[in-house]
């Protein structure tokens, strides 16, 4: 009985093996025939690409700063805005420069009044001296009175010279104050696009040693790519070769 059981088990295994073999043979015979593509071999150029990563930047850009100290009252542009040359970008509080102009103008008015007074006194001293000289010819006045008249005229003329120097110094201060007033208006030194804003509206800028940066303008019509190429690939580069680049983002 055991012998017959072993024979039946062998028949079952043999049948299963035949069934699997038949299924594989059926799939093999019904598989689609492979399709081969042929083409004619021709001579051509072998191209080699050189890949490198780098930084894309504008060829021309400028940092726009402030030449006077004060609060940035208004900022008329945002990042990405395109501006024209001499366009108004922002305004620094002009009150300090305006007050300085008023102060210097008042000083100049006072000095000019003092000069007119000194000129009138010099004219009087000149008339007095002429009179003293005429009287000295007849010995109607002493030599001391004549010397006093000469000294008084020289003093009056010296006062006029001092006042003239003060007027020139204050006039230079007035010109500087007017220039500082012009500097309170931040204008674009060139046409371009605002790429960065460093100072926000309401902040105070201090132009003590160097002009603080307010924003950055760039001319994006011409870009410059700074890339590092490996020494092994440098030999494949030549002047005038075309280059393609992909911007990956900030």
2 pLDDT higher than 60: no
The DSSP string of 106-144 is HHHHHHHHHHHHHHHHHHHHHHHHHHHHHHHHTT-S-HH
pLDDT class for 247, splitting at 50, 70, 90? low
Mean pLDDT of the chain: 84
What's the pLDDT tens digit per position in 183-210? 999 999 999 999 999 989 998 888 775 6
pLDDT, position 29: 66
d(CA 71, CA 184): 10
Pick the CATH number of 62-93+184-250 from 2.40.50.100, 1.10.3720.10, 3.40.1260.10, 3.80.10.10: 2.40.50.100
Please enumerate in sequence order all residues whose Cβ is within 8 A of that of 77, keeping only pairs 6 or more positions apart, or say none: 83, 89, 90, 194, 197, 215
pLDDT, position 227: 79
211 pLDDT higher than 90: no
Whether the model pTM is above 0.85: no
User: How many CA atoms lie within 13 Å of 137's alpha carbon, on the beta-carbon side?
Assistant: 5
Q: Which fold has domain 94-183?
A: 1.20.120
Pick the closest to residue 227 from 49, 55, 51, 48 (CA basis).
55
206 with 89: CB under 8 angstroms? Answer: no
pLDDT, position 155: 92
């Amino acid at each position: 009985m055991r012998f017959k059981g072993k024979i039946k088990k062998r028949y079952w295994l043999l049948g299963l093996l035949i069934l699997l073999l038949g299924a594989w043979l059926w799939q093999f015979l019904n598989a689609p025939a492979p399709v081969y593509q042929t083409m004619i071999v021709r001579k051509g150029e072998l191209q080699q690409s050189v890949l490198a990563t780098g930084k894309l930047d504008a060829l021309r850009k400028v940092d726009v700063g402030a030449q006077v100290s004060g609060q940035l009252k208004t900022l008329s542009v945002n990042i990405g805005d395109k501006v024209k040359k001499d366009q108004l970008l922002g305004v620094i509080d002009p009150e300090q420069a305006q007050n300085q102009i008023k102060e210097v103008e008042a000083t100049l008015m006072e000095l000019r009044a003092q000069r007119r007074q000194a000129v009138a006194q010099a004219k009087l001293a000149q008339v007095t001296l002429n009179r003293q000289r005429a009287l000295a010819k007849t010995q109607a006045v002493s030599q001391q009175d004549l010397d006093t008249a000469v000294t008084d005229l020289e003093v009056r003329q010296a006062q006029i010279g001092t006042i003239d120097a003060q007027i020139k110094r204050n006039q230079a201060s007035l010109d500087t104050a007017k220039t500082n007033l012009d500097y309170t208006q931040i204008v674009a030194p060139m046409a371009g696009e605002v790429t960065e804003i460093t100072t926000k509206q309401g902040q105070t800028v201090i132009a003590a040693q160097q002009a603080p940066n307010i924003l950055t303008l760039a001319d994006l019509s011409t870009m410059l790519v700074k890339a590092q190429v490996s020494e092994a690939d440098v030999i494949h580069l030549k002047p005038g070769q075309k280059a393609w680049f992909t911007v990956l983002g900030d």
